[in-house]
Amino acid sequence: MLTPYRPEAYVNFADAEPRQKMLAALKDVRSKLGRTYPLRIGDQQIDTPNKIKSVMPASYNTVVGYVGKATQEHAALAIQTAAATFKTWRRVEPETRARVLFKAAAIMRRRVYELSAWMCFEESKSWIEAYADTCEAIDFLDFYGREMIRLGGPQPVTPYPGEDNELRYMPLGVAVVIPPWNFPLAICTGMTSAAIVTGNTVVLKPASASPVIAAVMAEVFEQAGLPPGVLNYCPGSGGEVGDFLVEHPQTRFVSFTGSMEVGLRIFEKCAKVSPGQIWLKRSVLEMGGKNCILADETADPDAVAEGIVAAAYGFQGQKCSACSRAILHQDIYDAVLGKVVERAKKLTVGDTTSEENLYMGAVIDEHAHKTISNYIEIGKKEGRLALGEGHGQDARATLRQCGTGIPAGGYFIPPTIIEGVDRNARIAQEEIFGPVLAVIKAKNFDDGLEIVNGTKFGLTGALFSNDRFRLERARHEFHVGNLYFNRKCTGALVDVQPFGGFNMSGTDSKAGGRDYLLLFMQGKSITERL
């Protein structure tokens, strides 16, 4: 009998046992760096002449692994294999499909430190960020498995005299799953497992910055008993392979998490019917954000500063939910700003695969480093640099590893704060996806709400206030998919805070929620006259 679902508990790396287990896992994974991972299509493991080279962001001369790089011919084979396998997988009982997820969750639970260590190397996650990523992957597996059992049989309908009526949910077909690099195990596992447990088959095209952990995930599913052809691991370039998979007439739906620009492109391509296509493709899109924390004059400045720093700089600000705008009432602006600067100064930055349990690692790659650095230069013209590179000794103090200065050989950017920013400035409107915080002054609560909603996005946000009526008003007027009161705007848990946003933040799919699996199925009403 299944126990009720509950999220995985985190560990405290200040304790000796978790620390030693993490150090042992890092040593083990380091010994496995540089291996080659083939494509997985059906029961074939295909070695390709061209490879995707995954490198450490914190040490870009270190190769994490070499991953097969698919061509369009490989992508076509993956689609054909998935389509053929769908004919049998769709008929597997929902409970049986769910058990595959439960087995995969058990394997990940046993390998939690190893999987976390892989992300310290490949994505430069801190220990706790990597561990939380693995826990979320386990949560998705456990929760979606239970949800499929709930949704797998006939659904309630109103009885009608003389007829036997039922409603059943049926799978759609071949899924193209395109996950992001920033939650390379959690979101990849969540998107993939949701499609699989609902009876669909998957062609997985992982992000080129995080293909190794996706390959490890595919191995976990194989160990859990997933039949060949249900999950086809097919890394490749977006232009050659990604577009081909999205446009293919046998693709039934596309599940995507990533930038707004790529999401809109997929949205447009899915809307166009390809020759030979006999359905309207679905697109499930999780895109970007320009998230904020709003604090009014009744808020506790220390609590506000704690929430801002945690949400702005966790995983180097590379979360779609990260706080990139702090909107502060004019009466507490200076006090909160000073506390945020002081807290951010104390954050440690360096190679998270070292023995030091550091708070921040490197940003994901050279392109990200250049883009974020360019935004910082823009921000210097749009406001005042309160903390960051080039801000005297404060910048050097934040970037330390065992007492040294800026670590060499990695894509490191220190916590950066730009204050006095206009609400319409570029750094207040455009997604930066890095450790850069724009601080904006609000005249009053009404003005603050106007600034909050003054972007094209609507993903996450938080309000710090001790005014009950303002909290109630924000429930209706703070226009984001995930709203938090008196806490940070990051850290959504599966089935605790179903995740997804409004406007240009996506289709509000509410991943980790009780409606999510319905996006990958279609309802069939069946009536028999008695």
d(CA 113, CA 106): 13
Distance of CA 110 to the CA centre of its chain: 22
CA distances from 277 to 89, 244, 250, 259, 270 (A): 21, 14, 7, 27, 11
H helix runs in 275-365, sequence order: 301-313, 333-345
Place of tokens 């009014």: 296
Is 320 among the catalytic positions? yes
Backbone angles phi, psi at 13, to 5 degrees: -75, 0
d(CA 420, CA 11): 38
Furthest-apart CA atoms within the chain: distance in Å: 83
Strand order in the sheet with 201-204: 44-46, 39-41, 231-233, 201-204, 174-178, 251-257, 282-286
The two three-digit tokens of residue 224, written as one number = 């859990």
Rounded-to-integer distance, Cα 176 and Cα 131, Å: 27
Q: What residue type is 428 in one-letter code?
A: A
> Which SS3 state, helix, strand or coil, does residue 495 take?
coil
Contact (Cβ atoms closer than 8 angstroms) between residue 460 and residue 287? no
Closest CA to 516 of 40, 182, 62, 150: 150
Reading the block at residue 319, the tokens are 């979360």
Active-site pick, 320, 323, 382, 431: 320
The tokens 């053929």 sit on which residue?
84
Residue for token pair 């996450």: 460
Q: Write out 409-438 in H/E/C secondary structure.
A: CCCCCCCEEEECCCCCCHHHHCCCCCCEEE
Q: Judge whether 86 and 173 are in contact, CB under 8 Å.
A: yes
Active-site residue, selected from the candidate residues 286, 389, 419, 431: 286
The residues that are catalytic are 286, 320
